[in-house]
Chains A and B, each alone.
Chain A
Amino acid sequence: AQTVTQSQPEMSVQEAETVTLSCTYDTSESDYYLFWYKQPPSRQMILVIRQEAYKQQNATENRFSVNFQKAAKSFSLKISDSQLGDAAMYFCAYRGGNNDMRFGAGTRLTVKP
């Protein structure tokens, strides 16, 4: 079964600085999708960015970008120019051939003014 591991329960970053959240996964599949979700205090889950495994180019969405290392099964999220509104729980997720998505345990990001 596929597993997703987020080894950083908590991270903090100074406002306007850059932070990287780590995620690794375990799979034997070759075709899959990876996602990062943000869960602010409102608890609403918000899709931040996604990456197709067959694409070598790293996905970017404004201040958010990923470092996808398929061989290493690593999928980190980089947040540039951090803002106070970025404070949230961030979940890494994997979607392969099954009809569901597997989530990591999450990383709580604190942004210091």
Chain B
Amino acid sequence: SQTIHQWPATLVQPVGSPLSLECTVEGTSNPNLYWYRQAAGRGLQLLFYSVGIGQISSEVPQNLSASRPQDRQFILSSKKLLLSDSGFYLCAWSYDVRVYGYTFGSGTRLTVV
């Protein structure tokens, strides 16, 4: 069966520090991968998605970046965090999102102080 792992679960980082959130999927190959951010009490905002290794599409220009170094690994990064980067970050994968929707990771709560 397929599983998705996301870590860390909680992160407190100072302004200006770098960020690296990791997401891996097991039990499938060539999944579509997504990074979403959820601000407090609000819906989900798509940040990046990837349909293959090295293929990254960005939805919202900001100081975040994403990479997909391996088929089932998706990384969200920043060189210098801003206060506005605080939020709940969710990784998701889908083999065929039109049919099956997404399977989400457990999320990372990021607080920038």
Whether the pair A43, B101 counts as a contact (CB closer than 8 A) is no
For B102, the closest partner residue in chain A by CB is A101
**Min CB gap B21→A, angstroms:** 15
- Flag whether A44 is at the interface (Cβ < 8 A): yes
- Flag whether B90 is at the interface (Cβ < 8 A): yes
What 1/0 flags go to A39-71 for Cβ under 8 Å of B? Answer: 000111101001000000000000000000000
A: interface residue count bin: 20 to 34
- The total number of A-B Cβ pairs within 8 Å is 53
Whether the pair B97, A95 counts as a contact (CB closer than 8 A) is yes
For A9, the closest partner residue in chain B by CB is B41
> Contacts A44-B104, A44-B106: A106 and B99 contacting too (C-beta < 8 A)?
no
Q: Give the number of chain B interface residues (Cβ < 8 Å).
A: 24
Q: State the main secondary structure of chain B at its contact with A.
A: strand
- A33, A37, A106: the one within 8 Å of B98 (CB): A33
Whether the pair A104, B43 counts as a contact (CB closer than 8 A) is yes
What's the Cα separation between A91 and B34 when bound, in Å?
A: 17
Which residues of A sit under 8 angstroms from B106, Cβ to Cβ?
A: 42-44
Which residues of B sit under 8 angstroms from A93, Cβ to Cβ?
A: 101
Whether the pair A43, B97 counts as a contact (CB closer than 8 A) is no
What 1/0 flags go to B24-64 for Cβ under 8 Å of A? Answer: 00000000101010000011101001010000010100000
What's the Cα separation between A106 and B88 when bound, in Å?
A: 15
Listed in ascending order, the chain B residues whose CB lies under 8 Å from chain A are 32, 34, 36, 42-44, 46, 49, 51, 57, 59, 88, 90, 92, 97-99, 101-104, 106-107, 109
